[in-house]
Chain A
């Protein structure tokens, strides 16, 4: 599947149609799903219907639709009317949301065609997709390896060339980490940049809808459409949305990239270290200045994250009680037993583990010791970032300590799994935007991701840096499973 920009050009010129682009995405999704398990629902009828509507728009109006006829996949924790929203869980049963998320509303108004819902770790909790109740997504580069998580289906669908773009959600790295593992771009915007109305909540002070694409220019095109204030989400900020595509080609000469040598220390695979050192040289070659920075509290980020995220999750997931929608357990004679049985049968082990951890850290006598302490260290981390951004325009780190790992490798050791998010959770805790761009392959031929994080609202800078990188050091490799 071509890039958004090329597809749109073809459709506007009349060389291509929304229907043909959509059919090609649907065909690829259906053909590859047996291998990849990237989609939980493929909506052929709905997508073709939407595509026909875009094709019926007269050319001058079509030119005003920034995503005219572009097939897009959506993580199955974002509401699309008429389609399921399972969150990779059994507890929602056959539930279909009666409304569109604001991001979906805006995509559809821009002419995009939603082709299907992508698989993910249950309620976006996981870094490997092994927590989906519907079986894991396979990494298109090596199907014995995880695609990353939790937006693994979205990353695999883009990497395998099924769609040019997909939406994901990122609470601790769930867009950037699978993007790194699958060799695509993953952008988590600033907290408050994209409305979460219609995104099923996990950690409300951390969640943000993000974009997965193969090029920085395509990520800019999608972010342009979904960004901005929404009265339905009180956390969206009244900050003007810049023209993300306009500055993509600007020179990055003189831009300052902050590198923390401590973060490139132990725990990093040699392949990742080599790729990151190489990308630092690529940026130097493009005229960027590399400056030393320090994020002294980043080492505590996983501890802070797993207190705050689980506390918020234990509260958010209280709504899944079998009363108003979704699955309800049978044979429960009282209300309380119905709650407990429904949640026992409906939730998988990782979700239960996190709800219990969150319940524990919020429980009487422990709140100050865990939750309040974590929020104070979070403040220290925010100050670290503020100080770092006095010295640089963006911070450069690996996205993950290793390339994609094997299925089963970490599944019995939750803490080892959590530590995989060490570089990404900092961005969610600080609220700053982060972007992962492919920066090379490991000796085993697996993609490696480079992460750029910037000050609040600096998506333009991150996209420009990623675009410059993709121009200077194109990532030509393609996964073995590809449309």
Chain B
């Protein structure tokens, strides 16, 4: 399926990416080519196939993940905020949400 520059802009919005006009012109044909390439999968009959969701092996599927419901140590507020671009009063500070 051809992907237009308008599609690219829509996808960039969805992905919270700002892209330049040059990138839009570059990406549209490249992503079109890749999407056309992956569409070869349509030739395969998968009507009776269950999807392989996740990458686990059978042994991985059987591994018990539960643990006792006990409090364990965590990073703590100081370390968690230490490298934030803008931390204030024990929080992550961000620009205003509504314009």
**A, B assembled together:** yes
Chain A contact residues, CB within 8 Å of chain B: 93-96, 98-99, 190-192, 204-206, 229, 231, 234-239, 297, 300, 302-304, 306-307, 314, 318, 321-328, 332-341, 343-344, 347, 349, 352-353, 355-357, 359-361, 363, 369-370, 372-380, 382, 414-415, 418, 428, 431, 456-457
Hey, which chain B residues are within 8 Å of A190, CB to CB? 57
A456 contacts B57, C-beta separation under 8 Å: yes
With A98-B82, A334-B98, A379-B49 given, is the CB distance from A359 to B15 under 8 Å?
Answer: yes
B95 contacts A334, C-beta separation under 8 Å: yes
A457 contacts B59, C-beta separation under 8 Å: yes
Does B89 touch A at the CB level, under 8 Å? no
With A352-B23, A356-B17 given, is the CB distance from A380 to B59 under 8 Å?
Answer: no
Hey, which chain B residues are within 8 Å of A382, CB to CB? 52
One of A205, A373, A418 near B41 (C-beta < 8 A): A373
B50 contacts A376, C-beta separation under 8 Å: yes
A466, B41: Cα distance in complex, Å: 34
Chain B contact residues, CB within 8 Å of chain A: 3, 7-8, 11-12, 14-20, 23, 26-27, 30-31, 33-35, 37-38, 40-42, 44, 46, 49-60, 62-65, 67, 75, 79-80, 82-86, 92, 94-99
Given contacts A234-B65, A303-B37, A325-B85, 18 further A-B contacts (CB under 8 A): A95-B83, A237-B56, A324-B84, A326-B85, A328-B86, A336-B16, A343-B17, A347-B17, A352-B19, A356-B17, A357-B34, A360-B11, A373-B46, A374-B38, A377-B44, A378-B51, A414-B33, A415-B30
A341 contacts B11, C-beta separation under 8 Å: no
Rounded to whole Å, the gap between the CB of A289 and the closest CB of chain B is: 26
Hey, which chain A residues are within 8 Å of B46, CB to CB? 373, 376-377, 380
Hey, which chain A residues are within 8 Å of B60, CB to CB? 191-192, 235-237
Nearest to A92 among chain B residues (CB) is: B83
Hey, which chain A residues are within 8 Å of B33, CB to CB? 414-415
A343 contacts B63, C-beta separation under 8 Å: no
A355, B12: Cα distance in complex, Å: 9
Nearest to A370 among chain B residues (CB) is: B38
Total A-B residue pairs with C-beta atoms closer than 8 Å? 189
A375 contacts B51, C-beta separation under 8 Å: yes
A340 contacts B16, C-beta separation under 8 Å: yes
Hey, which chain B residues are within 8 Å of A239, CB to CB? 59
One of A98, A231, A352, A431 near B17 (C-beta < 8 A): A352
A415 contacts B34, C-beta separation under 8 Å: yes
A93, B84: Cα distance in complex, Å: 11
Hey, which chain B residues are within 8 Å of A418, CB to CB? 34
A355, B55: Cα distance in complex, Å: 20
Rounded to whole Å, the gap between the CB of A384 and the closest CB of chain B is: 12
B84 contacts A325, C-beta separation under 8 Å: yes
A234, B96: Cα distance in complex, Å: 36
B75 contacts A98, C-beta separation under 8 Å: yes
Interface centre among B42, B58, B63, B85 (most CB of A within 10 A): B85
B16 contacts A205, C-beta separation under 8 Å: no
With A96-B83, A231-B67, A335-B95 given, is the CB distance from A321 to B16 under 8 Å?
Answer: yes
Hey, which chain A residues are within 8 Å of B12, CB to CB? 356
A302, B41: Cα distance in complex, Å: 10
A378 contacts B52, C-beta separation under 8 Å: yes
Rounded to whole Å, the gap between the CB of A231 and the closest CB of chain B is: 7
Hey, which chain B residues are within 8 Å of A94, CB to CB? 83
Interface centre among A95, A206, A332, A343 (most CB of B within 10 A): A343
B95 contacts A235, C-beta separation under 8 Å: no
With A300-B40, A303-B38, A340-B17 given, is the CB distance from A191 to B55 under 8 Å?
Answer: yes
Nearest to B48 among chain A residues (CB) is: A376
Rounded to whole Å, the gap between the CB of A138 and the closest CB of chain B is: 26
A379 contacts B52, C-beta separation under 8 Å: yes
Rounded to whole Å, the gap between the CB of B88 and the closest CB of chain A is: 13
A355 contacts B65, C-beta separation under 8 Å: no
One of B41, B65, B97 near A335 (C-beta < 8 A): B97
A238 contacts B63, C-beta separation under 8 Å: yes
A373, B46: Cα distance in complex, Å: 7
A378, B58: Cα distance in complex, Å: 15
One of A95, A237, A415 near B63 (C-beta < 8 A): A237
Nearest to A328 among chain B residues (CB) is: B85
10 contacts between A and B (CB under 8 A): A191-B55, A191-B56, A192-B57, A237-B63, A303-B38, A323-B92, A344-B18, A356-B12, A378-B52, A456-B57
B14 contacts A363, C-beta separation under 8 Å: yes
Hey, which chain B residues are within 8 Å of A363, CB to CB? 11, 14
Hey, which chain A residues are within 8 Å of B11, CB to CB? 356, 359-360, 363
Nearest to A372 among chain B residues (CB) is: B51
Among all A-B residue pairs, the 4 with the closest Cβ atoms: A205-B55, A375-B51, A328-B85, A376-B46
A353, B31: Cα distance in complex, Å: 8
Hey, which chain B residues are within 8 Å of A380, CB to CB? 44, 46, 49
B16 contacts A339, C-beta separation under 8 Å: yes
Hey, which chain A residues are within 8 Å of B63, CB to CB? 192, 229, 236-238
Hey, which chain B residues are within 8 Å of A326, CB to CB? 83, 85
Rounded to whole Å, the gap between the CB of B80 and the closest CB of chain A is: 8
Hey, which chain A residues are within 8 Å of B58, CB to CB? 456
Rounded to whole Å, the gap between the CB of B1 and the closest CB of chain A is: 9
